[in-house]
Amino acid sequence: MARALGFSAAIAALCMLPPSTLEAQGLCPKCHLPPGCRGKGNQKKFDKPQCRPLLLTIEQPIDFGKVIVIGNGIGQVRLDPASGMTTVTGNLRDMGGWSFHGRALVTGAPGQAFVVDMPRMITMSNATGGTSQVVNFTTDLGNAVLDSNGRREFNFAGTLSTNSSVVTGGTFRGQLLISVSYP
């Protein structure tokens, strides 16, 4: 007999900017500024529009919606970053309801390229200790360049991968650290 339990998963993407990898290593102390605006350590202030620091605002977090756990609960929910549609495989079944891809806004120097960095995997957990992972984070960015107003919106998503610990059901939550930097 198959046991069906409800399962819901959401990720709150953090909108704070962790230092880029180079900045964290002390190799690029002002990576939040575009090249040519980083100075030579003389503390001169750059007030020109082309020297705006990058800012990331999360407008909508990821939500994988609701699924039913069937049998051992091992399966995947792939969330498309462009459409927000889910594809459910394995021992999970879509219960309908709402799923959302994440949406972010990057602001900074007009016309400048930027890099988005996301982890390879995050772990989500529920109140009873069950865990699941989200892997394969992707965006719909294509060419990551700020427009003439120094703005660029993009969508992001990933694949929820469940294991046998989700058979307890419940609401799973996690946090995704996204960083942006100038190349």
Give the mean pLDDT of 11-15.
55
Per-residue pLDDT band for 98 (boundaries 50, 70, 90) equals: confident
Token pair 């989700």 is at which residue? 166
Tens of pLDDT, residues 144-178: 999 999 999 999 999 999 887 666 677 888 999 99
Give the mean pLDDT of 79-92.
92
Per-residue pLDDT band for 17 (boundaries 50, 70, 90) equals: very low
Per-residue pLDDT band for 121 (boundaries 50, 70, 90) equals: very high
Q: What pLDDT sits at residue 22?
A: 46
For residue 89, the cross-strand partners are 76
Q: Are 178 and 118 in contact (CB under 8 A)?
A: yes
Q: Where are the beta strands (DSSP E) in 38-150?
A: 55-60, 62-69, 75-79, 86-90, 92-94, 102-107, 115-117, 121-125, 131-139
Neighbours of 44 (CB within 10 A): 9
Q: What pLDDT sits at residue 26?
A: 54
Tens of pLDDT, residues 69-83: 888 888 999 999 999
pTM: 0.79
Per-residue pLDDT band for 132 (boundaries 50, 70, 90) equals: confident
Q: In the chain, what are the domain boundaries?
A: 5-36+50-181
